[in-house]
Amino acid sequence: MLDRIAAVMVKEVRQLARDRLTFGMIVGIPLMQMLLFGYAINFDLRGLRAAVVDEAGTSLSRAWIADLEASGVVEFLPPSPGVDDLRRRIDAGEVSVGVFVPPDFERRVLDRTRAPAQLLVDGGEPMVDVVARSLASVPLPRRDGAYGRPVPTLEVRTEYNPERRTAVQIVPALIGVILNMTMVIFTAAAIVRERERGNLELLITTPVRSGELMAGKLLPYVFIGLLQTSLVLAVGSLLFDVPVNGSLLDLYLAALLFIAATLTLGLVISTLARTQFQAFQLAFFTMLPSILLSGFMFPFDGMPPAAQWIAQVLPLTHFVELARGIVLRGAPLADLGGPAAKLVVFLVIALAIATLRFRKRLD
């Protein structure tokens, strides 16, 4: 039995090594995604174009506006003469954020029931909206004198990622996204290809059992998955200084569990698809909700219950939780029993479905 599994493995690795495109994708997909998410996609927007209308013109308002600019979130273009002009500039896309300081700014500061100033934001760009709102937390400048000490606003401390760098949030979860993408597509395609090319018709009539066939085909991808994990970690640490706060062993164990889950998902897809193209389509079909709903890009808590339910079914959701826990919070795997158990449940169910559907027969 082991000899037959080994035979299938050797064959699979040989074919893989000759398939330049697939082989290149094993390394290419992680590298491309790392660079994309590490450099191009930045959740931590800075230097938004802004303009101000300062109708108060007091020293307090000027000091506050200077503090806003000093935060680095906005960069002020020449001021506008009035609110109407400010609106026009936002409409025209010249600026994304407008700050309106009303003439009675100083009185409003003392009167706790009214906001001292207004922020006009281009709501069309989701990230701008979120980031600009953070301006609202810039405190009024300290000034001794008639008004006393200003009210201290809420202080936010970002734990585990004090500089709030996107790479730190992204890299651990990106391991999952990359594994999900490559493992599902490669295995589904590798199995469907044999059906498409007619190899399966021959294989079925040999003494190889379906379990041996599956094991031999999937095992090489386990190593490839671990290789990709290492690649992402290495690039993350070299280029983006992402530390691994928890145990590396725990991280690899979690990755192994996730690899097993995604390989099985690929196996299920291979039993549904007749052609490689269908396999790609199905893999893509599972990929999109995984990226959007797993908490990789958007916070899980803000989603409607239906989306949260779907997210629970996706293995990536649980791996993102595991990876962030281990890499950022330094939590031991033993403390992350919840998501780990859910991955195991997914694995068992998917394996059962695949075994039931993967028959050594043509019809």
Partner 1 sequence: MNDVPAIVARGLTRRFGALTAVDHVDLSVPRAGIYGFLGPNGSGKSTTLRMLCGLLEPSDGDVEVLGYRMPGEAESLRRKLGYMTQRFSLWDDLTVEENLEFLARIHGLRAAERRARIGELEAEYDLAPLASQRAGTMSGGQRQRLALAAATLHRPELLLLDEPTSAVDPQSRRDFWESLFRLAVAGTTILVSTHYMDEAERCHRLAILAEGRLVAEGAPRQLMRDIAAAVVELEADDVVAARAALQGDGAILSVAQLGTRLHALLSLDTPEPAARVRARLAAAGVAAEVHAVPASLEDVFVAATGFGSLSSSAHAAH
Interface residues toward partner 1, by CB under 8 A: 3-4, 6-8, 10-11, 14-15, 18-19, 197-199, 201-209, 361-363
Shortest reach from residue 199's CB to partner 1, in Å: 5
Closer residue to partner 1, CB minimum distance, 4 or 108: 4
Q: Please state, as a whole number, how many other Cβ atoms lie within 10 Å of the Cβ of residue 16.
A: 16
Shortest reach from residue 354's CB to partner 1, in Å: 20
Closer residue to partner 1, CB minimum distance, 11 or 49: 11
Closer residue to partner 1, CB minimum distance, 8 or 231: 8
DSSP type of residue 138: P
**Phi/psi zone of residue 123: left (φ > 0), alpha (ψ -120 to 50 degrees), beta?**
alpha
Phi, psi of 97 (to 5 degrees): -135, 135
Shortest reach from residue 28's CB to partner 1, in Å: 20
| Sign of the alpha-carbon dihedral angle for 172, 178, 184, 187 | negative
Closer residue to partner 1, CB minimum distance, 10 or 136: 10
Instruction: For tokens 């193209």, name the residue.
Output: 277
Closer residue to partner 1, CB minimum distance, 10 or 27: 10
Shortest reach from residue 362's CB to partner 1, in Å: 5
List beta partners, residue 52.
99
* Distance (Å, whole) CA 161 – CA 144: 34
Query: Hey, what are 164's tokens?
Result: 């709030």
Closer residue to partner 1, CB minimum distance, 46 or 360: 360
Closer residue to partner 1, CB minimum distance, 10 or 130: 10
Give 195-198's long-range contacts (Cβ < 8 A, gap of 24+): 195/274, 196/274, 196/275, 196/276
Shortest reach from residue 250's CB to partner 1, in Å: 37
**Residue type at position 250:** D
Closer residue to partner 1, CB minimum distance, 7 or 27: 7
| Sign of the alpha-carbon dihedral angle for 326, 331, 333, 337 | negative
Shortest reach from residue 253's CB to partner 1, in Å: 32
Give Cα separations from 24 to 2, 142, 182 (angstroms): 29, 57, 12
Q: Are 172 and 324 in contact (CB under 8 A)?
A: yes
* Distance (Å, whole) CA 135 – CA 222: 46
Shortest reach from residue 8's CB to partner 1, in Å: 8
Shortest reach from residue 93's CB to partner 1, in Å: 53
Residue 253: which of 280, 226, 284 has the closest Cα?
Answer: 226
Shortest reach from residue 191's CB to partner 1, in Å: 14
**Angle 39-329-136 (CA atoms, 0-180°, nearest 5)?**
60
* Distance (Å, whole) CA 245 – CA 231: 17
Closer residue to partner 1, CB minimum distance, 75 or 201: 201
